[in-house]
Each structure stands twice: as C-alpha cells, then as structure tokens.
Amino acid sequence: MGEKYTVGQYLVDRLYELGLRHLFSIAGDYSIEWVNSYVEKSGIQVIEEVNELNAGYAADGYGRVKGIAALCVTYSAGALCTTNAIAGSYVEKVPVVLINGAPSIKKTLTFEQTGYSSHHFISGRETDRQVFEYITAAAVRIDSPHLAPMLIDYALTQCITERRPVYIELLEDMVDLECTRPSNALRAAAVISDEDSLNQSLAQISERLQNATKPLIWIGVEIDRFGLHQQAERLIQDLKIPYVTEFLSKAILSEDDAQFAGVFDGKSSSPYVQSLVKDADFVLALGVWLTDINDLGWPIDLDKTAFASWDTLKYGTSFNAQVSLADLVNGLIDRRLTCKAQTLPAKTAAQAPVMNPADELTYQGFYDFIQHQIDGNTIVGADASLNYFGSMLLDVSARRGFIVQSSYSAIGYIGPAATGVSLAKQDKQRLMVFSGDGGFQMTAQCLATQTRFNLNPIIFVMDNGIYGVEQWLADASVFHGNKPFYKSCILHRWNYSKLAEVFGCRGWKVHTYGELEEAINGAKENLNSPSIIQVLVPQRSIPDNANWKES
C-alpha cells in the first residue's frame, strides 16, 4: 500500500508543476490547514501578505512575469477583498489562481437548513463562487474528493489557456481526503483557427503589406500574454519595417531594437511616433487592445488598420472570426513576405541632462533625470497616475521590462505588484516603480511584506498632494492656469519617507536634483529591503506629453 494521497496534495502538486514557486496568503481558519500542512512542506514558499487586496495585486505582478500565480484567502471576509485585484487580472489576461478556503459541508448544510451561521457566511454555498464567476475563466467548488482532480485540472487548464484568473473554492474538510494522483501533465488547450478565415486573413494582410508604401506594425499585449515574442521578432526582422507598441505592451520586446520606433499612445506619443502613425498607409496591429488609455486624443483610422486580436481579424468593413494570433503570425512568417524599403531613423544615445543640483524638481525634469538610471537589468513599473505619461517615453531595453495595468487602471496597484515582480524576476534585475501619492496611500502596507522578505524594489512616490490624473481626466485646464483643484482631488499629505521607520526599510525625501541623485545612489546600495523615495513636485507640474489636453 502506498502513502495516502490527498486533495490538498493534488492541488499543491499541480501548481508546482505549472511553475509556481511562491503563494501569497493571508491566514484564515478555513484555509490554514491546507497552507500549513501542504504548501509549507512543498517547494512553494508561502508569502504571508498583510491584506487580501495587496496579496491580489502581488499575485498579478508575479503572474505577469512568471506565467502563473496563486493566492490563498479565507471565505467571504477574505475572498471578497480580492475582487478588485482579480478583476484587473481578468481584464488584462493575467493567469492568477485564487484559492478560497471555505467552510465544511456540515457547516454549510447547518446554515442552509437551520439558519445557524458560521463566521463569514453570507447566504450559503453560492455567494463567493457566484461573485467570482463574473471575473474568472473558471469557478469551481471542491466539495467531493472524487471530483476534485477533475475540477482542479479543469480550472488550472482554463487559467493557462485563457491567461485569466480562476477561482477554486477548497472546503476545509476536503483537504485531507484521499483522491487519485495526477496522471498526464497539464497543457494549455490549443486555439483552433477556422481554415477559411485564417487563409482569407493571411491573403488580405499579405497583399496590403506588399503593396503599402509605408507599412507599420503595432505590437500589442497579446503577443506577450500568449508567449509570441520570438515569432513577433522574426516577423518584424523579415519585413524590415518599423514597429510601435501600445502602452500596455511597452517593452515586451527590447526597445533597443533598431526597428522599434516608440510607444504609440495617441497625442501622448513622441512627435516622431505620431508622424509615423499618421503617414502610414497600412498598420498591422498584432494583439492590440483598443482602450481610451491606448489612443489618447487620437481617432484611430480603422480603414488602414488591421486588428488581429481576440481571435479575430478586423480590417475596415471585413471581419474574419476564429483566427488564432499564433497561427496568423506563423502564417505570415511562412509566406516570406517582402515590403517596400523604408529608411529607419538612426537611433542616437540620449545625453544625460545637465541639472543644477540645487534646482527644484519638476515632473518632467524627474523623468529626464531618471532615464539615465535605467539599464539593461532594470524593470520599470508605473501606477495609474501622471506617471503613465512620464514612464511612457522612457527607453527600457530589458525585454518584458515594463509593468503597467493601464487597461483596468486601478490606482494603488504598482506598490504591491512590485512584491510579486520582485519574487518572479531574475536575480540580476532591479525593479524601479513610480507611484502617485494618492495611489500609494491605498496600498502602502506593501512595504511591510517587501521588508519581511528582504525584497528591494525602489519605489518613487510622486508627492504633489493631489489625485493628479483624476484632475487631469476631469479638467486638465487646472494645470495651465490658476483655477483651483477639485476638492475631491486634494489629498491629506503624508510624510512618505518616514514610513521607512514604521516598516523597517529605508526612505528619502527629495525636492532637488542633487537630493534625488543622492537618494537613488543610496537606494541602489540598499539590497535587503525596499527603498521609498518621496519626490516633492509642484502641484501644477505635469509631464510634457500630458500638456496636449487643455480642458
């Protein structure tokens, strides 16, 4: 007789098989048995988080880099706190597994039949699962050891296939019950293209690429989510034409590439990228998602842009359904297409700006200065804030070296996401993230987890005392005159650098370029804890590429 094999062990083994090495968790009595008895004894390290929202954002950041992430929380009171993070992962196609420790069958039946409630119950067995059905690719309840392997495999396969979060409700009395062992390894299900739709799409795109005088490729986030980096690079090299990325897909390919022109994000793009997009007579958008953050102030010309995303090709009035992005890119490579020759501008190394160390910082000046602190081993992240604009035009040479949640855009995301990225990144890489002060106030406890586990992200908090991006979205004219800021956009000021004393890390407050340089040098030397740099900037100072919006 072999050793007893249980449901709890099955879930751990499947997660480890998929590459998971860290589990974000908040202690809860409905989930603690699985974490203590199974995860702690496995090759997966438990990262004890400070609250469920931060755990969800950390898992999201981890999943973007690692390709799979997981967090474990307790029923309702814990799980429902993760909904905003899980919703963001769902929108942006990040594979996160939410494991929700749930009350036993006996407790559930007692509540449903008599009304005698166990803590965290709302309305019986369906509440949490019904909530997460709307924001996950699969939501399963493990209440039978015989069905557990099938349900776990289904949920995890959906996670790695759809690249979206899944929900596994693990009842406390199921964990130690016996079940069958895993048989075959889990694999993502192949996306099947309709042959006619694929062939029509290939013919249509091929014809336009070969006949266009100024074709352009627009690389989108699905290239990253579905692991098509090498194929995209091969196609770009074969075609010998310039390409741009969207903000959400910034740096998924190295920005050192000679054919890379920049990030296209409407009127916030560089003047060169704007002219390139305007002058192009055909744009092939591979995996691009259209959002109001990806085309700021710019009407997309749908008559000259072919969108291959969401398993479809949309070009002008034509629409081809069931076209796999992988099949499309590989098909174009196989056709060995040639395009009309274009002269690509020679890239010149940006010169470090000459700053007077005593001068007060501005938003744009900060980003001009920070560019020269970024090298090939730097990962950059930005929160939903005015940092979107400043970070957009940074040169990031590390492939997959930029983290942003610009489609869902939950402020406060990047601080705790930095926890997950720090655990998933390569040892030689260093993480720098840029947060607004309003967003950082929402999730500042991320410093506690990062300090506890000796993680060393450098977190810049841009301190202007306002919800700057919210004011910009509602009425940007405030930044160009003397009108008062909306009262709802004014923050209670924190002394952010002093949080280092609370959490046991290191902190600096800077308002000049000399102080900024000193703080960055100190942060780079601090290898065993997070560094928080409070950057004081004037309230009406905004990045240059945000100035196009005047009202």
Other beta carbons within 10 angstroms of residue 223's beta carbon come to 24
The CA distance from 55 to 424, in Å, is: 14
**Residue 239 CA: distances (Å) to CA of 220, 222, 258, 313, 351:** 17, 20, 13, 20, 31
Closest CA to 89 of 64, 71, 54: 64
Closest CA to 463 of 411, 536, 532: 536
Q: Exposed e or buried b for every residue in 16-29, given b needs 16+ CB within 10 A? A: eebebebbbbbebe
Q: Which two tokens stand for residue 10?
A: 């099955």
Annotated binding site for Mg(2+): 437, 464
Q: Which two tokens stand for residue 388?
A: 């979107």
Q: How many CA atoms lie within 13 A of 171 on its CB side?
A: 21
Indicate the burial class of 191 (C-beta count within 10 angstroms; 0-12, 13-18, 19 or more): middle
Phi, psi (rounded to 5 degrees) for 261:
-100, -25
Q: Which two tokens stand for residue 139?
A: 């939501």
Question: How large is the angle between the packed helices 52-66 and 83-91, nearest 10 degrees?
Answer: 20
Contact 174, 143 (CB under 8 A): yes
Annotated binding site: 437, 464
